[in-house]
Copies of this chain bind each other. A is one copy, B any other.
Amino acid sequence: MSEEKKLTPRSEDFSAWYNEVVQRAELADYSPVRGSMVIRPWGYAIWENMQGALDRMFKDTGHENAYFPLLIPMSFIEREKEHVEGFKPELAVVTRAGGKELEEPLVVRPTSETIIYSMYAKWVQSYRDLPILINQWANVMRWELRPRLFLRTTEFLWQEGHTAHANEQEAVEETLRILGIYRSFMEDWLALPVVTGLKSDAEKFAGAVRTYTCEAMMQDRRALQAGTSHHLGQNFSKQFGLTFQSEDGVETHAWNTSWGVSTRMVGGMVMAHGDDQGIVVPPRLAPTQVVIVPIYRNEEQRAAVVEKADEMRDRLNATGVRSKVDARDHLNPGAKFYEWERKGVPKMTDSRPSLVR
């Protein structure tokens, strides 16, 4: 069993440690499709907690969720010149459907600027229809030749915000407001040290005027791009005819922003906080915050100890601490400590024996 095999120490090979710990903590697994991963229940529950916190922050600042199609006509992607140059090498393309060759190939969305702004163009007539502040939780696909679980996978989960504004100033403010939300989330929930700033022209989003980034510091002394917020200017509104009649009656192109964070943040959490025993999940994001391991010598003791453990769990849950009792019979307490430590349930102390006191 994997319980017996030690993790490669971080000091020896950080990258090998990362790959091992992500799988051993049951965060994710490789799938039969190269570059795609399976997010296992423990990893997904952490992502759900991230989603919950971010979703509240977006809604508190006036954003609504919606859902746009997965498949985008190739001609849409090609309309914004820098956009297509940036994304074309990474596209997955549907050429057959319903038993026939398609007349126009459809791209599995790598990001949704083109399809979303084409819809906004339909919905917006007047300055009164602005701003539009929409977010989408979705899967996206960017073909990846050197995949790494959570950090670089062909398919990943993310949120993408897309807004339209009646003037540039408002769009710039939105770009920075979201950058601030990302920073707060990463500091307060993920407990990550971050540096925010402007990407160089070579590194900015394909089609953006300016890209702001939240770079998170990992324990191997590298920075991870953990979230970006783009000021798109009128680049897309001009290609998709997203215009509105201004208060003065002038037909004007709207200003757009887009911004996103993804399941890559789960990888960031691992690389920032993990140790040689396993991952470490920041308490606010931990699906289970306390595990109680009952210890007994015989069946008679078992009933009494488990009853007491259940009572403790109920008291903890009632105060809002997400707790569970691990009463599995076929594992000894040591194996349980080892498993939960690997999965990063917040530790009371650093040394394992203290958990049993």
Chain A residues within 8 Å of B, Cβ to Cβ: 29, 31-33, 36-41, 44-45, 47-48, 64-73, 76, 88-99, 105-106, 108, 115, 118-119, 122-123, 128, 134, 138-139, 141, 143-145, 154-155, 157, 330
Contacts and interface: CB of A to CB of B under 8 A. Distances in A.
A249 B3 CA distance: 22
A115 B31 contact: yes
A36 B102 CA distance: 15
B32 A70 contact: no
A82 B118 CA distance: 40
Contacts of A141: 70-71
A66 B106 CA distance: 27
A326 to B, nearest CB: 14
Among A31, A76, A138, A144, max chain B CB count under 10 A is at A31
A66 B94 contact: no
Nearest to A65: B44
Given A45-B65, A94-B108, A98-B90, A71 B143 contact: no
A93 B95 contact: yes
A115 B29 CA distance: 13
A97 B106 contact: no
A73 B108 contact: no
Contacts of A123: 29
A157 B105 CA distance: 22
Secondary structure of the A contact surface, majority rule: mixed
Nearest to A134: B41
Given A68-B38, A94-B92, A155-B69, A76 B108 contact: no
B41 A64 contact: yes
A181 to B, nearest CB: 19
B33 A72 contact: yes
Contacts of A118: 32
30 contacts: A29-B123, A31-B115, A31-B119, A32-B115, A33-B69, A33-B71, A33-B106, A36-B70, A38-B66, A38-B69, A39-B68, A41-B64, A41-B134, A44-B65, A44-B66, A44-B67, A45-B65, A67-B157, A70-B139, A71-B92, A71-B154, A91-B99, A92-B94, A92-B98, A93-B96, A94-B95, A94-B108, A97-B143, A98-B143, A98-B144
